[in-house]
Structures are given as structure tokens and as C-alpha cells.
Amino acid sequence: SNIGESEIKGLDWSLTFLPLDSLAFGISGNVISAEFTDINAVSSTHIVGDDLDRVPEYSYMIYSKYEFNWTKSTEGYMRLDYNEQGPFKITNRDNGFLPAVVETDTLRYLNASLGVDMGGWGIEIFGRNLLDDRGLSIASQTQQNAQARPRTIGVEFTTEW
């Protein structure tokens, strides 16, 4: 059965600005408040007022993308984006000597790419997590925590058929 009742309030937004056909800027995000308002279980890991597990307080993304032609028949693009996800909590008040509430880090990622599309084939040079943010992406009371992927730079080949 369910543990009880909860209340979730939030706001989502998304805005794209196209000053030129080939240039786009955008921002999107959300803010969320999510907590337990009633506990119906005899034994529970949570109490009224605890945050819901794994619900980030906020997240947002800012991006820009420019599309152009390398040649008359070869399209290209450049993209730059920044993503930030606020912390979230995991609660377990029945675990004895371990911390009752653990919280992830705020995660910040900067990504960039430069690509070419050639009639169904594509090549992209990319950099992901260029800030090399290695904060906790999933937290646990046992300290077996997952971290964000490290800075990654690479080349990607794609095809369509």
C-alpha cells in the first residue's frame, strides 16, 4: 500500500528565441516543492514534512545553436549548452545509525558540439561535462554513491537509412 499523501507544487518553463533562421537561444527549467503531508503506515521511513525522494529542487538549461553550411551541399552546426540540477534528498528514518537524510550535490554541466551532416551521414566532435563536475548524482545512506560522468571529449559518427 502507499505510505500516505504528498503535495507537489512546481513551475515549468521553456523559452526559445530565434533572432535568425539559423540561430537559436533557449532556456528551460523547473522549480519543485514536493513533501509528505500525511503518513498512513504503521512503520515508515518518512515523517510528515519530509521531501519526496529523488525530486530535485530545481533544474534549468540554457543553450545556443547555430546552423550553417560547410559547403553548398554539406550542412553544419555548433551547439553550446549549460545544465544545472539542484540537489535532491533520500530519506530513511528506520536505518539505525546511518544518516536519516542524505542529499546529492548540485550538478553543473557544460557541453559543446560541432557537427556536419552529409546526406544521411554525420560526424560530430563533442565535449560533455567540460567543467568536469563530479558531484554526487545519486546519494545513499550507505555511502555507495554514484558520481557524474567525468569530462568526455570524442567524435561521434551517425547514419540514417
Question: pLDDT, tens digit, for every residue of 134-154?
Answer: 776 666 655 666 667 889 999
**Considering the chain, what is the average pLDDT of its residues?**
89
Read off the pLDDT band of 73 (50, 70, 90).
confident
Phi and psi at residue 157, to the nearest 5°: -110, 135
- What is the model's pLDDT at position 1? 53
Sign of the CA dihedral with 117 first, then 118, 120, and 122 last = negative
Complete DSSP assignment for 41-108: -SS-S--TTPBPTT--SEEEEEEEEEEEEEETTEEEEEEEEEEEE---EEE-TTSTTS-SEEEPPPEE
Rounded distance, CA 149 to CA 157, Å? 21
Q: What is the pLDDT of residues 104-126, one digit of tens each?
A: 889 899 999 999 998 889 999 99
Read off the pLDDT band of 65 (50, 70, 90).
very high
Q: By CB neighbour count within 10 A (0-12 exposed, 13-18 middle, 19+ buried), where does 112 fall?
A: middle
Read off the pLDDT band of 96 (50, 70, 90).
confident
How much of the chain, in percent, has pLDDT values that exceed 70?
92
Rounded distance, CA 83 to CA 73, Å? 33
- What is the model's pLDDT at position 79? 98
